[in-house]
A and B are shown apart, each in its own frame.
Chain A
Amino acid sequence: MTVWGKRSLLPASNIKERETKLANKKLKLALSGAAIFALLLTGCTQEASEDAGATSSAASGGNTDTGETTEVTATAPAPFDGTVKIAVVENSGAGDYFQQFRNGATQQLEAMGVEFEIYDAQADNAKQATDMETAIGSGVDGIIVRHGNSDTMCPLINDALDKGIPVVIYDVEISDCAPRAIETSQSDFDLAETVLTQMAADMGTGINVGYVNVFGIAPLDRRHVIWEEFKTANDWNEKFFVGKFTNSVATDNAQLVDAALKANSDVTAIFAPYDEFTKGVVSAIEQNGMEGKVAAYGIDISNADIEVMTAENSPWKATAATDPNAIGAAVVRTMLLHLAGELDENEYQFPGVLVTQDFLKDNGVANMDDLRSVLPALGLSEVMAADWIPVVTF
């Protein structure tokens, strides 16, 4: 600014020179900026053009699990004799689950050697809608939709089906609004039943229990149905029912359960059908020094959960779980079978497995890898398998 201000004090030729110099400088700056921009873009291009999968593995970070692949014993049927392209339209929220699911799906897609595109809306429902439109327009042979609002996705899923593109859904409630799509989910009824059977066996009937859950989230609503059944069947007396779904679920629910436990110290077991809830329950029990008195039962498992469950005096007695990596791969296999015309039904559920604290301790399980090796059922190797699919198991 000051330079321009002094303009009138300088002879004309001088101004020109200064202007030229300045312009030169600015030009250089801009050009180097543009060059950096171009470099960055081309740098990225090479990575992407080598292999579409490279980006997805980069996206899931370094700590991903690598699955084992079975040998194929038969030639793949049509359309796998030609090029097949599949789009995965995801809606990730926070948490490891989504990364693990994508990791499993990606490895299965790569093992089968199909082309694929992964769209991730990152919890932005409007973006997922646009991604779905792009996927439909891009001429793929099949679309996998993972999570999302049924209200948002249903009309688009029907659009895809109308255009003759098969759609496989994971964990979106669509049986009413898009019955022609193939619906897959982890069996929440099964998960709840598995762990509640264990709770009934451990604790017996007629006890005082606490319950942590919220309404309005599809998988949790399904788990709730089973809870009601078990509560009635075992004559459990529900002393409190709390729960809150926030960005920091474990911490916020610890507060709620803490208050509820202080008011109801006669409770002997708490069911919290989501691992973040269960972690909140565990810390509330510990805050009140009730480790020996109150038992916690949860659903889902992760490395962090295993650590909590195997800690000394941990009140978390049992959980029921699936492996998101294996589920991701199984959903992809559902699409492969569907494209080959080998599916008979429209709805598939992937079963859960019981994991008790004793089992973890007896087998010296410290993380998910250990758990997978002692509990092969988690890998879903028999689910959605065929002799022409190289099945990826974890």
Chain B
Amino acid sequence: MSDRVAQMEKRAEIKNRIQDGLVKYGFIAVTIGLFSWFALTEETFRQPSTLFSMLKFTSVVAIVGLGVTFTMVVGGLDLSVGSVAGLAVTVSAMMMVIYNLTGFFSGVMVLVAGAVVGAVNAFLIVWLKIPDLLATLGMMFIVMGLKLLPVDGQSVSSKMILRDGSVAPGKFTEGFRAIDRAMVGPIPLPVVIWLVLTILAWFLLTRTRYGRVMYAVGANPEAAKLSGIRVEWYRFSAYVISGLFAATGGLILASRIGQGDISAGNSLLLDAVAVALVGTSVLGIGKPNAWGTALGALLIGIVITGLTIKGFPYYAQDVSKGLVLVLALIFSFTLSRKKARFVPAT
């Protein structure tokens, strides 16, 4: 009798260990598996230049996703990130092309614009008590429209005709274009920026009091408040950080496009939220985290690049992106014995 119980316990133990292993390493295994499959079957894929251009392509989504991660940590979600990145593109184009300002100043203005939108988001959420999703959805539309106002809804390009009939005096400066094109050793600069920001976010979120309080605020704002934490301030800061990260992503985007492309950033929102969500399942952490977001972005980058090289049409890529997301969610919701938590407080 006791033998049978012991046997059952042993079997249960093994199953639990398999399950835990799957939760912990399943995601990384899928990433490595897909990477190997593409690398083995496609010569183009395994060339370093392809891998670096893949990382470059992924860096924008990943950086914007890092911002979203912060808002998810405090139990919210920022839907305005895509339009903030788009705003960054328009602002930098206006600064340089229409007002003929320097690339550095334009970059600073872009970051200021991102922080301002983040602050307005936070104001709506924290003080006007509008639920996160709704407030940032509203801001998404406002920013999307607002950025088109000064440019009459047209893309800003060098030598364009301005309202008064004169020709735009400036263009994207070489220095600004270098944000996307410069290399640090063999590594493209955007990838370095991505790496640095990921380390920064990881450090902030896990190695400082600030980060631990952020998680506490997200887990239970009431409890956090009762223990004397200024919950408002932490939520406020999360949205400002999100705006800043989105603007940084937009800065790289603007440098890559070299034009005030009005449609830029439109596709970023869903991708950024997806990578942050996928990131929760990495290593079975079950909550938003910086390295998870980076890995989530990497996996989606691998899938998109691999499928493009294999000649899949864009809609097959959307299907695969969705499957990756669902698979990751299975890891963190269905399989994980720790309960995952990142449902926005609406």
- Residues of A participating in the B interface, judged by any CB pair closer than 8 Å: 1, 13, 16-17, 19-20, 23-24, 26-27, 29-30, 33-34, 37, 40-41, 44-45, 48, 52, 55-56, 58-59, 117-120, 122-127, 129-131, 133-134, 136-139, 149, 151-152, 155, 215-216, 245
Q: Which of B116-124, B151-159, B211-219, B292-300 contacts A (4 or more CB under 8 A)?
A: B151-159
State the Cβ distance, A63 to closest chain B Cβ, in Å: 16
9 of the cross-chain contacts (CB-CB < 8 Å) are: A13-B8, A24-B15, A29-B330, A48-B312, A55-B313, A56-B313, A59-B313, A134-B49, A151-B259
Chain A residue numbers with a CB within 8 Å of B335 are 26-27, 30
Contact of B40 with A by CB under 8 A: no
Please, how many angstroms separate the alpha-carbon atoms of A109 and B232 in the complex? 61
Please, how many angstroms separate the alpha-carbon atoms of A118 and B309 in the complex? 8
State the Cβ distance, B82 to closest chain A Cβ, in Å: 12
Please, how many angstroms separate the alpha-carbon atoms of A138 and B177 in the complex? 24
The answer to whether A125 and B257 touch across the interface, beta carbons within 8 angstroms, is yes
The answer to whether A125 and B259 touch across the interface, beta carbons within 8 angstroms, is yes
The answer to whether B9 and A40 touch across the interface, beta carbons within 8 angstroms, is no
The answer to whether A48 and B311 touch across the interface, beta carbons within 8 angstroms, is yes
The answer to whether A123 and B157 touch across the interface, beta carbons within 8 angstroms, is no
* Minimal Cβ-Cβ distance residue in B for A244: B153
Of A19, A131, A133, A149, most B-chain CB atoms within 10 Å = A133
Partner of B330 from A13, A30, A131 at Cβ < 8 Å = A30
The answer to whether B316 and A44 touch across the interface, beta carbons within 8 angstroms, is yes
Chain A residue numbers with a CB within 8 Å of B259 are 125, 149, 151-152
The answer to whether A34 and B327 touch across the interface, beta carbons within 8 angstroms, is yes
| CB within 8 Å for A137 and B327 given contacts A26-B335, A27-B335 | no
Please, how many angstroms separate the alpha-carbon atoms of A120 and B253 in the complex? 18
* Minimal Cβ-Cβ distance residue in B for A45: B310
The answer to whether A134 and B323 touch across the interface, beta carbons within 8 angstroms, is no
Please, how many angstroms separate the alpha-carbon atoms of A129 and B258 in the complex? 10
* Minimal Cβ-Cβ distance residue in A for B323: A37
| CB within 8 Å for A19 and B16 given contacts A26-B335, A126-B264, A152-B258 | yes
* Minimal Cβ-Cβ distance residue in B for A55: B311
Q: Mark B282-325, 1 if CB is under 8 A from A, else 0.
A: 00000000000000000000000100111111101001100100
Contact of B172 with A by CB under 8 A: yes
Chain B residue numbers with a CB within 8 Å of A45 are 310
Partner of B309 from A24, A30, A124, A138 at Cβ < 8 Å = A138
13 additional A-B pairs beyond A129-B257, A133-B53, A138-B309, beta carbons within 8 Å, are A13-B8, A19-B16, A23-B15, A26-B19, A26-B335, A40-B323, A44-B316, A130-B56, A130-B57, A130-B256, A131-B308, A136-B49, A216-B154
* Minimal Cβ-Cβ distance residue in B for A118: B311
Partner of B327 from A33, A122, A127 at Cβ < 8 Å = A33
Contact of B220 with A by CB under 8 A: no
Please, how many angstroms separate the alpha-carbon atoms of A56 and B264 in the complex? 26
- In the A-B complex, the 7 residue pairs with the closest CB atoms: A137-B49, A151-B258, A138-B44, A133-B53, A59-B313, A130-B57, A20-B12
